[in-house]
C-alpha cells in the first residue's frame, strides 16, 4: 500500500519512490527530467505522468527534495541558514500551490557567510537521513558535479563547503585543449592515485599540471589514454587537499559507482579513514522522516 510519494528532483535527474509509512519502497521510477530541462509549467505534468503510471490516487501526499525548490525550479523553498538542526528541516517545507495534490518541497541549506558563502539542495535531506541512522555526526563527503563537504555535530548541520570538482572535469573534458585526450571510458588506477598525490602535495601547481596533460602527449612522455584518470585524480586531489587529516573521526563518503571508487582510492591514498554510505537509502530515510512530520502516519510492522 502506498502511504506517500518521495521524490529527489535534482538538476539533471528525477527519482520517485512510492513508499509505505515504514520507509519500505513499493515502487520506483526515474527519468532524466531534471530541473535544468524543465520550465516552471512543466513540473506538475512531469510529476503527474509518473504518478499516473503507478496509479497513485489524488489523496496520497508527495514530499520532494532537491532543485525543484530552487528559485528557477517549480516553486521556491527558501534556504535554511546554518547552523541548523537537520530534524527541523521538514518544518520549513513549502506547499506547492496550483495543484490538486498535496505536494511539499523541502528547503535547501545555506551558509550565509560572506567569506564562505555556500548552498545545497538535496544533500540536506541525505544528511537528515544519516542523522536519523547514527546521530549522523562527523564529516560527510557527497561527491558530484558540485561536491559537498558537510560537518554535522549532534544532529546539527554546522558548516559545509562545495568544490566544483565535477563541473571542472566536464568543462575541461569538453571543448578545452585537453578534450582530444580525455577518454573517460578508460581508468588507470596507478595514474589516478599518483595524480591525487601530486595535487594534494602541491595544490599551487594545479594549473601547471593541467597544461602538462596537453604537453605530455605531444612529447610522448604521457600516454593519452591516461589523461582522463589524471584529470580526475588532480581534481579530486585538489579537493581533498583542503580536508585536514586531523578532522575527528572517519569521513562518511556518500556515493556509489565509479565516482565512489575514485573517492575511496583518493581518501585511502591521503590516509583519511572513511566509511561508505548509500545516498539513495539515506535520501529515502530523510524523505520518510519528513513525510512522517508533515503527515503523521501510523506504522504497522
Contact residues toward its own copies (CB under 8 A) are 71, 79, 110-114, 116-119, 146, 161-165, 167-168, 171-172, 175-177, 202-208, 210-212, 214-216, 218-219, 221-222, 235, 238-239, 241-242
Rounded (10°) CA dihedral 124, 47, 36, 259: 50
Q: Least Å distance between CB 54 and its own copies? A: 33
Q: Least Å distance between CB 213 and its own copies? A: 9
Q: Least Å distance between CB 62 and its own copies? A: 26
Written as nine digits, the cell of 77 is: 523553498
Q: Least Å distance between CB 211 and its own copies? A: 4
Q: Least Å distance between CB 203 and its own copies? A: 4
User: How far is the C-alpha of 128 from the C-alpha of 226, rounded, in Å?
Assistant: 38
Rank residues 4 and 192 by Cβ distance to its own copies and give the closer one: 192
User: How far is the C-alpha of 267 from the C-alpha of 256, rounded, in Å?
Assistant: 15
**Helix or strand holding residue 88 (H, E):** none
Rank residues 53 and 215 by Cβ distance to its own copies and give the closer one: 215
Q: Which residue, among 70, 8, 75, has the nearest Cα to 36 in the 3D structure?
A: 70
Rank residues 60 and 67 by Cβ distance to its own copies and give the closer one: 67
CB atoms within 10 A of CB 115: 5
Rank residues 132 and 178 by Cβ distance to its own copies and give the closer one: 178
In order of 15, 129, 177, 217, the CA distances from 57 in angstroms are 19, 27, 53, 59
Q: Which residue, among 258, 253, 195, has the nearest Cα to 222 in the 3D structure?
A: 195
Rank residues 137 and 239 by Cβ distance to its own copies and give the closer one: 239
Q: Least Å distance between CB 29 and its own copies? A: 27
Phi, psi of 173 (to 5 degrees): -75, -20
Rank residues 222 and 253 by Cβ distance to its own copies and give the closer one: 222
Written as nine digits, the cell of 197 is: 598525490
Amino acid at each position: 500500500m502506498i502511504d506517500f510519494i518521495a521524490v529527489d528532483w535534482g538538476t539533471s535527474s528525477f527519482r520517485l519512490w512510492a513508499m509505505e509509512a515504514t520507509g519500505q519502497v513499493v515502487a520506483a521510477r526515474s527519468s532524466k527530467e531534471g530541473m535544468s530541462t524543465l520550465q516552471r509549467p512543466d513540473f506538475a505534468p512531469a510529476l503527474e505522468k509518473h504518478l499516473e503510471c503507478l496509479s497513485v490516487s489524488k489523496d496520497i501526499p508527495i514530499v520532494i527534495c532537491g532543485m525543484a525548490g530552487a528559485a528557477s525550479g517549480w516553486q521556491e523553498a527558501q534556504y535554511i541558514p546554518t547552523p541548523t538542526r537537520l530534524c527541523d528541516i521538514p518544518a520549513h517545507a513549502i506547499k506547492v500551490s496550483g495543484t490538486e495534490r498535496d505536494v511539499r518541497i523541502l528547503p535547501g541549506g545555506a551558509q550565509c557567510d560572506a567569506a564562505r558563502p555556500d548552498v545545497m539542495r538535496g544533500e540536506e535531506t541525505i544528511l537528515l537521513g544519516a542523522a536519523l541512522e547514527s546521530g549522523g555526526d562527523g564529516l560527510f563527503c557527497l561527491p558530484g558535479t558540485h561536491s559537498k563537504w558537510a560537518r554535522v555535530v549532534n544532529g546539527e548541520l554546522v558548516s559545509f563547503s562545495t568544490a566544483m570538482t565535477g563541473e571542472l572535469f566536464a568543462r575541461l573534458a569538453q571543448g578545452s585543449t585537453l578534450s582530444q585526450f580525455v577518454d573517460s571510458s578508460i581508468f588507470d588506477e596507478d595514474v589516478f592515485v599518483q595524480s591525487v598525490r601530486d595535487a594534494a602535495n602541491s595544490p599551487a601547481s594545479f594549473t601547471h599540471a593541467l597544461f602538462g596533460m596537453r604537453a605530455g602527449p605531444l612529447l610522448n612522455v604521457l600516454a593519452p589514454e591516461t589523461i582522463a584518470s589524471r584529470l580526475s585524480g588532480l581534481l579530486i586531489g585538489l579537493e581533498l587537499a583542503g580536508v585536514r587529516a586531523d578532522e575527528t573521526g572517519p569521513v562518511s563518503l556518500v556515493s556509489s559507482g565509479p565516482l565512489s571508487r575514485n573517492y575511496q582510492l583518493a581518501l585511502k591514498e591521503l590516509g583519511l579513514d572513511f566509511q561508505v554510505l548509500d545516498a539513495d537509502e539515506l535520501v529515502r530515510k530523510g524523505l520518510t522522516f519528513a513525510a512522517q512530520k508533515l503527515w503523521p502516519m501510523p506504522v504497522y510492522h
